[in-house]
Amino acid sequence: MFFIKSIYLLVVLFIYETHCINYAPVVTTRNGQVRGIIKTLDDGTELYVYDGIPYAEPPIGNLRFRKPVPIGNWSGVYDAVKYRQSCIQPDKLEPDNNIPEESIKSEDCLFLTVWSPLPKTCGTKRPVLYWIYGGGFETGTIFSIVNDVRYVAAMGDVIVVTVNYRLGPWGFLYAGTDDAAGNMGLYDQLEGMRWVKKNIEFFGGDPNLVTIFGESAGGMSVGAHVVSPLGAGLFRRAILQSGAPNSYLGSESREKSYNKTLYLARNLNCSTESGRAIVDCLRLKTADQILNISKTARKDSKSFEPIFGEDLMPVQALDALQKGQFNQDIDLMYGTVSQEGALFVESLFPNVFDPSIPKPKINVVAAKQYIQFLYMVFKEPYGGEVADFYTRGLADTDYDRLRQAVGYGFGDYNMACPTVVFGREFALHSQGNRVYAFRVTHPPTIPVFPNCKGWMGVCHGDDVLLLFGFPIRLRGITFTESDYQISRDMIQAWAEFARTGSPSKMGSANWSEAIDRQSDSPYTKYMDLNPNNYSMVSDYYKESCEGLWLKLWNVKK
C-alpha cells in the first residue's frame, strides 16, 4: 500500500557516460582477481570503480531462501567493469525500466561495488563507508543512478562500498525451517560486511574503520546490525537515515511473518501443512510466479520484512537497546527529513494532499479522520490520541498546517520517531560513544519525487539526493547554490564522522552530541541541516517523539 510510484529524478539525472573504457588496476582479492573501471567526475577527478563484484554464491535453485554462502574462489580476472543483475523485485513505473542498470533483475544478484579515490602515494588506508539502500525491503539496487556514490567517495576522500541484498520473499521469507529462517536479506548485508573486512585493504580501505549507513529500509537494516550480536567487530560506526528496526516496517515477530508465508503459499497452491512443505513447494515455483503474488501481497499488507527472535536480531531492537545488548563499541549518527510522511499521504489521498491544490477540502475534523484511518490500517489502537495531538491548536482554514499534521501523523510513527527513539535509547544505554543527530530542513530545488512541493517540506529520500551530491553534479543547472552547499557540507560531515567519529562543522556551526547523558531531561539536540542557518536545535522532539511516542510505545523514560 505505501509504495511510492516512481523516482522521476532519473529523467533529469541520467547522464550518459563515455563509451570508451579506461580500466582501473587489477586488484587481487582473497577470492581472485578483479579488474575495475575508471570513472571521471565532471571536474575531471578520477575514481576507481569495481562494479558488481560477487560476494556470495548465486542464491538460486536449492540455495533460494537460504542464508548466503560466501563466494568461492575463481581463476583468471573477473571483469568488474559494468553493472550486473539487480535482485528480483516488482517493476517500477516508467522511466526507470528504460535504464538497463535497473531493469535487469534476477535471483542471482549478490554483488557489491567498490568506489575508491585514486590511491594515495603514502599508502595510508582510507575509511570505508558501506551503503545499504532503501526501498521497503522490496525494491532497490546498487546499479541504480540513485545509489551512485561517486561524489561521496571523491569529495569525502573515502572508500564507499554499495551492496545488493535480496528483497521480498527471497530476502525475508520466514518458514521456521533452517533453510528459510528469515532475515536472509540482512544476512546478505552481513556477508558483504564480512567481505569488506577481509578484502577492503586490497582496495586501500581500512578494514577496522568501517561505517555502515543506509536510508529508510537501509536505516532499518543498519539499526538491526547495531543491535545484532553478529555485527560485532564488523564496523566502527553507523548512520541511520529515516528508518530504524523499531519502525513499522522495520521488524516483526516470527508469528506475523509466518502468516505472510501462509498467504504466499496459499496463493501459489502450495500445501500449508508445515513450513517444510511450504519451502519445498516454493522452491519449485518460478521466480515470476512468486513475484506475481508478491505484487498482490503488498496491497494486502503481506509484504515481508525482517523478523526478531532469530540469531541476527534475537530480541526487539528497543528491548536490546534498553538492556544494553548491542554493539557498545560504535559511534552513531541518526536523523530524518522535515516531512517524512508527506509523500505517503499525498500518494494515498491526492485529491486533498496534492500541494498544487491551494484550498483543499480539509478541516480539523477531516484531518483527524485521515489520521484515524491510517491508524486503523496500522492496526494501532491510539489513532484518536494521535489525531488530537497533531491537530491541536489548528483552525479549519490552516490548509497547509492541517495537511502537515496528517503528514506528521504518518511520518512520526513510521520513520521519524522510531529513528529518534532508537538514537536516544542507544545514547542513554551506552557510555563514551559519540552520538549525533540531524534533521534536513532544506528542500532541494529538484526533489527525488516531483510531487514534493509546497506544504510538503523535505520529503523522504531527499537526504540521499543531497548526500550523494546530485546538486554538485548539476550545480547551477538544476540546483541552486544552497543545494550545492548543503550537499558538499553533508558529504564532508559524513566522511569526517567515518574518519574520526565526529562530523565536521556545517558552515561555521559545530555539532554537539545528541543526548546529554548527565541531564535529568535528555532531549535530542540535532544539527538543523539548512545551509541558510546551520545550527543546533534542542527540544524539537520533546513533545512528539520524546513525549507522545515514548508513552504510546511504552518506552521507559
Ligand X SMILES: *[C@@H]1O[C@H](CO)[C@@H](O)[C@H](O)[C@H]1NC(C)=O
Interface residues with ligand X (CB under 6 A)? 30, 72-73, 255-256, 259, 268-269, 288-289, 292, 508, 510, 528, 533, 535, 537
Name the minimum Å distance from CB 253 to ligand X.
Answer: 6
Question: By the 8 A CB rule, do 336 and 437 touch?
Answer: no
Name the minimum Å distance from CB 309 to ligand X.
Answer: 12
Sequence length of the chain is: 557
Residue 423: left (phi > 0), alpha (psi -120 to 50), or beta? alpha
Name the minimum Å distance from CB 274 to ligand X.
Answer: 16
- Smaller CB separation from ligand X, 56 or 402: 56
Record the cell numbers describing residue 499, joined without a space.
Answer: 574518519
Name the minimum Å distance from CB 196 to ligand X.
Answer: 16
Name the minimum Å distance from CB 207 to ligand X.
Answer: 16
- Smaller CB separation from ligand X, 124 or 508: 508
Question: By the 8 A CB rule, do 466 and 483 touch?
Answer: yes
- Smaller CB separation from ligand X, 357 or 537: 537
Cis before 90 (ω within 30): no
Name the minimum Å distance from CB 503 to ligand X.
Answer: 12
DSSP 465-513: HHHTTHHHHTBTTTB-HHHHHHHHHHHHHHHHHHHHSSPPPBTTBPP--
Question: By the 8 A CB rule, do 130 and 212 touch?
Answer: yes
Is the sign of the CA dihedral 150, 469, 159, 85 positive or negative? negative
From 102, 138, 340, 346, active-site residue: 340
Name the minimum Å distance from CB 531 to ligand X.
Answer: 12
Q: What phi, psi does 305 have (nearest 5°)?
A: -150, 175
Question: By the 8 A CB rule, do 224 and 199 touch?
Answer: no
18 CB-contact burial (10 Å; exposed 0-12 / middle 13-18 / buried 19+): exposed
Q: Is 340 part of the annotated catalytic residue set?
A: yes
Q: Is 221 part of the annotated catalytic residue set?
A: no
- Smaller CB separation from ligand X, 433 or 500: 500
From 191, 460, 487, 496, active-site residue: 460
From 216, 251, 303, 430, active-site residue: 216
Is the sign of the CA dihedral 282, 283, 285, 288 positive or negative? positive
Residue with cell 567481505: 195
**C-alpha span between 220 and 544 (Å, rounded):** 20
DSSP 376-429: HHTT-TTHHHHHHHHHTT--TT-HHHHHHHHHHHHHIIIIIHHHHHHHHHHHHT
Name the minimum Å distance from CB 110 to ligand X.
Answer: 17
- Smaller CB separation from ligand X, 388 or 539: 539
- Smaller CB separation from ligand X, 183 or 216: 183
477 CB-contact burial (10 Å; exposed 0-12 / middle 13-18 / buried 19+): exposed
**C-alpha span between 334 and 441 (Å, rounded):** 15
Count Cα neighbours of 469 within 13 Å in the Cβ-side half-sphere. 20
- Smaller CB separation from ligand X, 72 or 324: 72
- Smaller CB separation from ligand X, 445 or 510: 510
**C-alpha span between 266 and 211 (Å, rounded):** 41
Give the active site residues: 216, 340, 460
